[in-house]
Amino acid sequence: MTKVLWVEKQIDYEPQGIMSMSAVLKEAGHDVQLTIAAQEDPVRFAKEYQPDIIGYSMMTGSQHYYFKLNRAIKEALNGHAPMSIFGGPHATFFPDLIQEEGVDGVCVGEGEGPIVDLANALDNGGFHPDIANWWFKVDGEIVKNPVRPLIRKLGDLPMPDRDLIYSKHAPTRNSPIKHFMASRGCPYNCTYCFNHAWYEIYTREKRGYQRSVESVIEEVNWVREHYPLEQVVFLDDLFIIFVDWLEEFAEEFPKHVGLPFFANVRSNLITPEKVALLKKAGANTVSMGIEAGNDRLRNDLLKRKMSRETVIESGLMLHEAGINLTATNILALPTGTLEDDFDTMRLNSEAKVKYAHAFLFQPYPATELGEFTKKNGHMAGSFEDIGAIAWDSSILIRSDEERNRMENLQRWFAIGVEFPWLEPLIRLLVKAPRNAFTDNLYWWIHKLWKGWAITRRVHPIKITPKVIFENAKHFMKMEA
């Protein structure tokens, strides 16, 4: 039996990848534990547990934190030499991080099969650095293995190991909102997304695999039997690609589950037929990427390939069906202006968006838009300057005045979508200099409005004093 320790900085909601890998490891007879740095000392936990494998799943911006923490853990375990492995999006697209001190293995791509093969090899003492999907550092030499095919039959995977998370993290366990995945993959090539780079690794793979409706229903009902559950959130990139699957889901989910749910959609895939199926299935809220109001930015720079009219029409269809719409938007895009961002705000309002998320553009490496930003000299500093939080500040080269106004608009954006007649006032408010006072004031206004909209529209759950207290406590512990 191999002992595997996952290390997380903090938990926002259920980390789907870690839960799935924990499930396949336990199915193979291995022991898996989790430590969360936000609530306990991971170094002390590792010393007590004495793992054989220490695993980290990283997004770009968090890598340096995990490198430092990993070195501290390995130093504390100097009498015991676990293998430190890194996976997740950042590791997949930048496996050269294997060169970092203390990094023994990097998993490229899907992790279920690779992690089980590694744990099995360590368990029987027959480890050889020729396991597909892995880059290993062996006696100072780097061994690079090819990737195996993507998992095509997602229903063959065991149910995600939710107890790994819920047994350690009370806010997620007690929340009446739980997160699920019904599919993997996306056929589109938006320039700000890692998707195109993913399929450069998996060159001959189909773009999108769906779980069976039966397995999705089984998991949701199992969670409801064991934990609080009032609303289901599907995290799939696109929930409505396959019409035949959606038809079956709309027939079976309300019959066997009957809970409201949230899912991601795409504007140019919205049709009256699909809206009717979503309504029949029980969708109370969906989210779509609007990203930019300006046609050049949306279609040429971001490659969204959808018209302004399509965005508005799809929003109105959902509104008329009584399905709340949220949207994601990217402000401060390269070659974009403050006026473009105000145009994006107006487009959200025209599309009847019930809550508009606004993020400041971050030029993530390995994305087409990130590389464009770097190549064309729009970025101040380097990719290493990108933080883990995507809405705090912009690192693009602009005048101080325009950058400050864009950053301020991010805080007022959702309110401007809800109350478009406030635009003249918001234009004045974004001129305020960024300092501790305005930052805190604007942050609280933004968060209070977001909290109201999320609890009343996006995830309309029963609000009790206990839920409010638990959510507030969790919120205050989270990195800003």
Q: From residue 391, how far is each of 328, 330, 354, 405 by CA, in Å?
A: 12, 9, 20, 14
User: pLDDT tens track of the chain, all 480 residues?
Assistant: 999 999 999 998 899 999 999 999 999 999 999 999 999 999 999 999 999 999 999 888 888 899 999 999 999 998 778 999 999 988 999 999 999 999 999 999 999 999 999 999 998 888 889 999 999 999 889 999 999 999 988 888 999 999 999 999 999 999 999 999 999 888 888 898 888 888 888 888 887 888 999 999 999 999 999 999 999 999 998 899 889 999 999 999 999 999 999 999 999 999 999 999 999 999 999 999 999 999 999 999 999 999 999 999 999 999 999 999 999 999 999 999 999 999 999 999 999 999 999 999 988 888 899 889 989 988 887 766 676 555 577 888 889 999 999 999 999 999 999 999 999 999 999 999 989 999 999 999 999 999 999 888 888 777 666 655 665 555 555 554
CATH code where residue 55 lies: 3.40.50.280
Residue 103's pLDDT is what? 94
390 three-class SS:
coil
Residue 480's pLDDT is what? 46
User: Strands 134-138 and 141-144, how do they pair?
Assistant: antiparallel
Residue 269 falls within a domain, yes or no? yes
Which of 403, 427, 263 minimizes the C-alpha distance to 345? 427
Q: From residue 398, how far is each of 108, 181, 379, 404, 409 by CA, in Å?
A: 36, 39, 9, 9, 15
Residue 54's pLDDT is what? 96
Domain containing 206: what range? Answer: 175-477
Same domain, 85 and 192: no
Helix H, strand E, coil C: the string for 282-315 is CEEEEEEEEECCCHHHHHHHCCCCCCHHHHHHHH
Residue 209's pLDDT is what? 85
Q: What is the CA 133 to chain-centroid distance, rounded?
A: 22
115 three-class SS:
helix
Dihedral angle sign, alpha carbons of residues 229, 233, 236, 241: positive
Same domain, 185 and 77: no
Same domain, 464 and 378: yes
157 three-class SS:
coil
Q: Please state, in angstroms and rounded to a whole number, the distance separating the CA atoms of residues 276 and 346.
A: 27
Q: What is 75-107 written as a DSSP string?
A: HHTTTS-PEEEEESHHHHH-GGGGGSTT--EEE
Residue 470 falls within a domain, yes or no? yes
Residue 224's pLDDT is what? 97
DSSP state for residue 154 in the 8-state scheme: G
φ/ψ of residue 224, rounded to 5? -65, -35
Residue 150 falls within a domain, yes or no? no
Same domain, 233 and 378: yes
Same domain, 13 and 68: yes
In the block, residue with structure tokens 């095919």 = 149
Residue type, 241: I
What interhelical angle do 213-226 and 243-256 show, nearest 10?
30
Residue 390's pLDDT is what? 53
Residue 126 falls within a domain, yes or no? yes
- Looking at the structure of the chain, the number of domains it has is 2
Same domain, 368 and 256: yes
Q: Please state, in angstroms and rounded to a whole number, the distance separating the CA atoms of residues 179 and 164.
A: 15
Residue 181 falls within a domain, yes or no? yes
Same domain, 312 and 445: yes
Residue 236's pLDDT is what? 92
DSSP state for residue 156 in the 8-state scheme: G
Residue 167's pLDDT is what? 95
Residue 149 falls within a domain, yes or no? no
Q: Please state, in angstroms and rounded to a whole number, the distance separating the CA atoms of residues 116 and 29.
A: 10
Q: And the tokens for 54?
A: 């220490």
Q: Please state, in angstroms and rounded to a whole number, the distance separating the CA atoms of residues 313 and 319.
A: 10
Residue 213's pLDDT is what? 95
Same domain, 323 and 387: yes
Residue ending a domain, choose from 144, 162, 197:
144
160-169: burial string, b at 16+ Cβ within 10 Å, e else? bbbbbbbebb
